[in-house]
Amino acid sequence: MLNDPLREVTRKERRSLLGISAIAMLVGWTHARVIPSKIENFGINFTLPDRSVLLWLFFWIVAYYIVAFVAYAATDALKYFHTMDEGAKTLRKQREEEAARSTSLSDATRSEAPWPLLRYVTLIITLVIAGVAMYSLWGAVHDVVPTVPSGPGTPGDYLKAVPSSQVATRVH
């Protein structure tokens, strides 16, 4: 009953989720300015729409890690609670047998071993950090998405458009 309820695979998923969330928060809070606009060695240019696609990809990667971590953690929690229930049944049976042999049963022998609160806190903190990462990516996606110029224009005008956060409001 005193064993760690999380398997090694769940701890690895939590570690991966925290790592990818930290990177996602960095990318999201900087509004994708940490993504290079050009990688000359490979001849890759990241236009604004490309950055938006990268942010969406990153968003869904974080979502995947959240789902994987929750699935592993839920499985481990069910297994842990089942083990706790079986242990409690065994202890109850032993107490009943002792009570049948002796007339007094001390309440001092009664012990409950709940899942430590610290484990709940670490799981909750992990999910909160991942949620903040997704929120920052969501904001960055909507900040980096270019506004399409109104009126006549060519498809090239779309690539020259500025992010919505940099668009100045004009008063006519």
The predicted-structure confidence for 47-82, as pLDDT tens digits, reads as follows 777 778 888 888 999 999 999 999 999 898 888 888
Ramachandran sector of residue 43 (left: φ over 0; alpha: ψ -120 to 50; beta: rest): left
**What pLDDT score was predicted for residue 27?**
87
Tokens representing 63?
A: 């979502």
Q: How confident is the model at residue 164 (pLDDT cuts 50, 70, 90)?
A: low
Per-residue pLDDT of 110-158, as tens digits, reads 444 455 566 678 888 999 999 999 999 998 888 876 554 555 554 444 4
Beta strands per DSSP E along the chain: 38-39, 44-45
**What pLDDT score was predicted for residue 134?**
93
Contact 28, 56 (CB under 8 A): no
Q: What percent of the chain has pLDDT over 70?
A: 72
Of 9-13, 31-35, 111-115, 135-139, which gets the smallest average pLDDT? 111-115
Q: The pTM is what?
A: 0.63
Inform me whether the pLDDT recorded for 8 exceeds 50: yes
Q: Which residue has the tokens 């668009």?
A: 167
> Region 152-172: what's the mean pLDDT?
50
Which residues on neighbouring strands pair with residue 146, listed in sequence order? 163
- Would you tell me the crossing angle of helices 8-29 and 48-101 to the nearest 10 degrees? 150
| Total number of residues shown for the chain | 172
What distance in Å separates the CA atoms of residue 84 and residue 88, rounded to the nearest whole number? 6
Tokens representing 30?
A: 């900087």
What are the C-alpha distances in Å from 77 to residues 14, 74, 85, 133, 161? 14, 5, 12, 25, 50
Q: Are β-strands 38-39 and 44-45 bridged in parallel, bridged antiparallel, or unpaired?
A: antiparallel
